[in-house]
Structure 1
Amino acid sequence: MAIRFPTLPLAFVLSLGLAPAAARADAQAPAGSAKGSLVIAGGALRADNAPVWKKIVELAGGRGARIAVFPTAAGNPERSGRLTAEILASYGARPFVVPLAARLAGTDVRRAADDPQLAASVRSAGGAFFTGGDQGRITAALRHADGGASAVLDALWDLYRRGGVIAGTSAGAAIMSKTMFYEGRAPLPTLRDGITDGRDIAPGLGFIGDEVFVDQHLLIRGRFARMLPAMLAKHYKLGLGIDENTAAVVAPDRSIAVIGYKGALLLDLGQASVDAARTGFNVTGARISYLDSGDRYDPASGRFTPGPDKEKVDPAVPSYRGPLFAADILGNTAVVDLLMKLCDSDQARATGIAFGDPAGAAADRGFEFNFTRTPESEGWTSNRADTYSVYRVRMDVRPVKLALPLYRAE
């Protein structure tokens, strides 16, 4: 029987049906019990990305699984919820849209978030999916003003702890870590000016746990650089940055598998240090890895497993020779392109720089990124496509200045 919410737009509530067997398990699982899975998409998730959508449906219980769609972050939640539900339905799920969005006409978000019927429908589902938009709208809707959890947020945690899947794209990915970018600025200003709590970062929902920081739209926007000061400010050792139309699947044992179009960057600050005496952002001894689609990583053991179509790069037969340099390391996929060349090169080191508009503020202030192969570094290449995986390259970042003007008219 469908559950109806008379104070909310009925067009938003789809048929709920009966929960699958897995979803009818004890919803009040203790905090220490086995957790479910996460599917964290880096944004711009296309409807034809079958590996990602099929994985969400599979982890929610397979064909016929009920999945709660949260369009809470969207600027047009009615449209976003409807379109997302249509995509999930096309892959065999039985989705229903949760009418919980500040921008949904006629909705009292606070009241809806504590509605027992709405919470019950979410709790009995096999999975939940958060659309993109503004992640601040999600946390504002699901948390009370004092920071406490709403009934719907408690239901989501019950769903997850019971073995269900929590998925999301873009804003829906940002909320997965305990700390999220809130009004995140571009990478270069973030490096220059530092991180401010409540402006740049704010509490997320923390489904991935306390140890991993998550960011999205990663490679196409060069956002790996803005992750560094955020991770240092909040004492994260591990950062997971996922590119667009790509997802990281986090299993109950916390292992990570990358699926979809591109890949994800893994930042490890376990051996990193900062020179407090130096003016400006700096970090030494960080490790950066690129996990391509099909790769896996186990944070507990530190073990990296390349996709089945990968073979190890032979350093004795390099594909690239001569110095490696990127004039805009924050450009679209620039850092991955440079790492790929480094792992299959006769060089042990590559350098990239980042500066802003020569006519803009602080035009002379930028950063130098040095990437160095070490004995623990590994490179893998596909024998079927021109793609690479790169594991544990050392990364050092330091502030640098340009002498202006860069050129003079003759």
Structure 2
Amino acid sequence: MKPDVIIVGAGAAGLMTAISAARHGVRTVLLLDQSQRPGLKILMSGGGRCNLTNGELDLNRYRCASVNSLKKVILQFPPSEVIAFFNQLGVSTKTEEPWKKVFPVSDQAQSVLAALLGEIRRAGIRFQFPESVLKLMQQPDGWMVETNHGRYLTPRVVVASGGFSYPHTGSDGRLWNMLDKLGVPMTAPIPALTPLHTNGRQWHQLSGMTLQAALTVTRNGKPLTTRTDSLLFTHQGISGPAAMDVSEWFASESGGTRLTVNFLPGTDLQTADSTFLAYAKLHPDQMVVTWLNQFIPDRLSRLLAELSGTAGIRLNQITRNQRLTLLGLLTGSELPVSGTGGYKKAEVTAGGIELGTLNLKTMEIRTHPGLYTVGEIVDVHGPIGGYNFQWAWSSGWVCGKGLAV
């Protein structure tokens, strides 16, 4: 039987596209995935908890060519409808403060995947895996999809195969290369939301320490972005939401890019200096490390005191130069980035099919009738916190609805 649509990739976006297509009246849907375990990225997400969406989604935090274009897709299936969708599937949700991250009440990503796969079965969607797409060819009457199991002719194909991140899950970028050869306009891929590697043994000795911090990226002295969130020091560098959100700036060779960390988010050097002087006046005999421990973990306090030459001295003994050096480290230490964790550690791939090439009511590629795309392979990505799943759900829902037109 000739399927009405073939969806390539059974991750979050592909599963949602299939469900949406069936709900909107598409009669025969064939879903293909090359992995032995479809939906593996869902299981890995959010530390195994699956951060479904964000209750206070800020579209300006997405990286894409046009926020207005993005808005046209997201608002067709916003966070409130995503939550209602999963509730209807039997997945109760909760919102966690302070970042408004939405998780299943079960705290188990498995419950999310099980609900989606259950809906796939109930909708009668034909699901074949592992089956790898080898070729994608445009025909006069549609598209020929060649796999390791045979050939299929269909009027419409949806590419939902993701990017290059976490290649062991089956997301190897193969379809990305096929689309490029077909002449689909694409932005070069780079790994995003990945840990950063740093030089400097002194920072590595903080491995395992977590704290709130503000990371600022500059290029040739010009500020590019600042992210305030949890920062984790590792034996290779830094990770956690703050580091991963800025990682893409270091994924490509670009001289003059620097990373600084403020261990007192929202406090600049001048304010920190005023605070220090006022406290020192009241507590002159207190040790410098003791003062630092009010704000940061002891291991970091001792490191900053060592680097500034203030270890083992009291507040009334510190010189002006020592004080300013210490406070400069506290509010603006440079972390020498040597590289990133690459695609093996990246949660998403930045780059991909440009939003401007898509019909935003259907997710069809304007230059290639009958060819649609959703999820990570589109040049849209957001920070940690449910943003990328929201894009997957929204783009998949819109595409599925568009397939019924």
**Same fold flag (TM > 0.5):** no
Quick check: which has more Rg, 1 or 2?
Answer: 2
TM-score normalized with structure 2 length: 0.30
Structure with more relative contact order (C-alpha pairs < 8 Å, separation 6 or more)? 2
